[in-house]
């Protein structure tokens, strides 16, 4: 295949413009009568194309974070104001993890299910994944803050006030003890929430960026809170296949050791 391009396009291609960075191109150049000819003899899709995480836009706004019906760490219920953000429509899958973390030889508990959420990944493993993902895609992915996670789980500006993410009946939105057969399941099979986000209740717990503090809600700032500056455990949210009720409510706060690889904890990306 031969492409005849003006010099501006040639320079764009050579620089690896972000709009075309989904391709790896091997080429050689000839100048004939002032016209640049680019001869492509090999074009390969990169993992950047396959790692295009499907994101849901979450319009910023204010909401009441916390609950009067859970543990003391969910109180006081307080107003939080968030800016716009994007969050993954699905939990990150085993396939997506493997495309980035080729050197990760640790086994999943539920191997062989490319479309199931990845598990047995520590909070620090996730940070490494995100760093590599951003290098490959030239995007700015990150973990959601605890406040962003709860706001999205509740349905954001479209919230109908459900107890769980998308319903008051957990079985319609969650893989949990009683219907999970004690294993993870393909993402996106249950009912989505008001924003069209799947599996924010059940399947696997999800790492958030925040350190966990049982008393944080007493001192948390109102605008775009990012959690305490230090701690021992990191926040996890959403419940999992391994639990019946723990963590399933959208307001339920749980925590985990960020160095451990749990078989019931995964994540979704945000930006």
Average pLDDT in the 164-172 region? 97
- 61 has a pLDDT exceeding 80: yes
Confidence label for 47 from pLDDT (cuts 50, 70 and 90): low
pLDDT of residue 12: 37
Average pLDDT in the 223-250 region? 95
Confidence label for 39 from pLDDT (cuts 50, 70 and 90): very low
Q: How far apart are CA 266 and CA 271, in angstroms?
A: 17
Domain spans in the chain, listed from the N-terminal domain onward = 2-45, 50-266
Over pLDDT 90: what percentage of the chain?
Answer: 77
pLDDT of residue 44: 40
Query: Mean pLDDT, the chain, as a whole number?
Result: 86
pLDDT of residue 245: 81
- Weakest-pLDDT range from 51-55, 92-96, 213-217: 51-55
Which is higher by pLDDT, 124 or 16? 124
pLDDT of residue 51: 77
pLDDT tens-digit series, residues 177-194: 999 999 999 999 999 999
CA atoms within 13 A on the CB side of 8: 0
pLDDT of residue 40: 39
DSSP 73: G
Chain centroid offset of residue 219 CA: 27
- 128 has a pLDDT exceeding 70: yes
Q: How far apart are CA 88 and CA 55, in angstroms?
A: 4
pLDDT of residue 5: 36
Which is higher by pLDDT, 32 or 166? 166
CATH number of the 50-266 domain: 3.90.1580.10
pLDDT of residue 244: 87
CB 235 within 8 Å of CB 210 = yes
Cis before 76 (ω within 30): yes
pLDDT of residue 257: 98
Secondary structure of 188-202 as H, E, C letters: CCCCCCCCCCCCCCC
pLDDT tens-digit series, residues 97-113: 999 999 998 989 999 99
- 38 has a pLDDT exceeding 50: no
Average pLDDT in the 221-248 region? 95
Which is higher by pLDDT, 34 or 127? 127
Most confident range (mean pLDDT) of 25-34, 47-56, 107-116, 216-225 is: 216-225
pLDDT of residue 68: 96
């Amino acid at each position: 295949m031969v492409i005849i391009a003006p010099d501006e396009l040639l320079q764009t291609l050579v620089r690896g413009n972000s709009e075309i960075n989904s391709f790896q191109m091997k080429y050689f150049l000839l100048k004939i009568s002032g016209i640049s000819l680019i001869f492509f003899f090999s074009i390969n899709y990169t993992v950047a194309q396959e790692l295009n995480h499907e994101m849901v836009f979450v319009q910023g706004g204010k909401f009441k974070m916390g609950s009067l019906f859970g543990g003391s760490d969910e109180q006081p219920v307080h107003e939080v104001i968030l800016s716009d953000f994007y969050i993954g429509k699905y939990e990150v899958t085993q396939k997506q993890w493997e495309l980035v973390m080729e050197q990760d030889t640790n086994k999943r508990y539920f191997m062989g299910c490319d479309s199931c959420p990845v598990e047995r990944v520590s909070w620090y493993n996730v940070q490494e994944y995100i760093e590599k993902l951003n290098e490959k895609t030239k995007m700015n992915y990150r973990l959601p803050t605890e406040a962003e996670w709860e706001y999205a789980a509740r349905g954001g500006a479209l919230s109908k006030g459900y107890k769980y993410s998308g319903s008051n009946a957990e079985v319609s939105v969650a893989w949990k003890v009683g219907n999970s057969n004690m294993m993870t399941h393909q993402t996106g099979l249950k009912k989505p929430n008001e924003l069209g986000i799947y599996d924010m209740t059940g399947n696997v717990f999800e790492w958030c960026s925040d350190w966990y503090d049982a008393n944080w809600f007493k001192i948390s700032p109102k605008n775009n809170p990012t959690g305490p500056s230090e701690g021992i455990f990191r926040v996890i949210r959403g419940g999992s296949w391994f639990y019946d009720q723990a963590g399933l409510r959208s307001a339920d706060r749980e925590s985990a050791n960020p160095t451990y690889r749990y078989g019931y904890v995964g994540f979704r990306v945000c930006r």
